[in-house]
């Protein structure tokens, strides 16, 4: 879904040492849960604003090709929930990684999602 993120992850993996030692501290700490909650909140805001405009303005269309032009709330929440779960798991695995460079990038997948949904919110409100 995010080709730029995949290229970045591949580049980091190529330069990562074979073993950088075990990760320190807790993996599921306050920062992880705060970022996960923020990701889910911005996604819900995006879905609800889109649904509001789809129902109140007949000319309004969803531009994400995954959803189609007039998606149902169920379809949007199903897709967004799967995306958020996948990104939270990827962030967890990055944070738990044996590679120091990957551990430092644990926040990146969810931050990209926050940015994408944030752009969706701004675009929906300003059109």
Give pLDDT, residue 17: 42
Sign of CA dihedral 85, 90, 93, 94: negative
pTM to 2 decimal places:
0.76
Are the beta carbons of 93 and 28 closer than 8 angstroms? no
Half-sphere exposure of 109 (CA within 13 A, CB side): 24
* Token code pair at residue 47: 């879905």
Using 70 as the pLDDT threshold, list the residues of the chain that sit under it.
Answer: 1-24
Residue 22 is predicted with a pLDDT of: 52
Around Cβ 79, how many Cβ atoms within 10 Å? 16
Determine the pLDDT at residue 8: 43
- In this prediction, residue 120 carries a pLDDT of 92
């Amino acid at each position: 879904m995010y080709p730029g993120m995949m290229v970045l992850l591949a580049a980091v993996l190529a330069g990562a040492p074979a073993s950088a030692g075990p990760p320190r501290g807790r993996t599921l700490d306050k920062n992880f849960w705060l970022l996960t909650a923020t990701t889910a909140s911005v996604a819900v805001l995006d879905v609800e604003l889109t649904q509001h405009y789809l129902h109140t303005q007949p000319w309004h269309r969803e531009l994400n090709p995954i959803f189609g032009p007039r998606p149902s709330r169920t379809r949007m929440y199903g897709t967004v929930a799967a995306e958020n779960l996948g990104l939270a798991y990827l962030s967890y695995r990055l944070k738990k990684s044996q590679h120091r460079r990957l551990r430092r990038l644990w926040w990146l997948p969810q931050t990209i999602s926050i940015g994408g949904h944030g752009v969706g919110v701004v675009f929906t409100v300003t059109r």
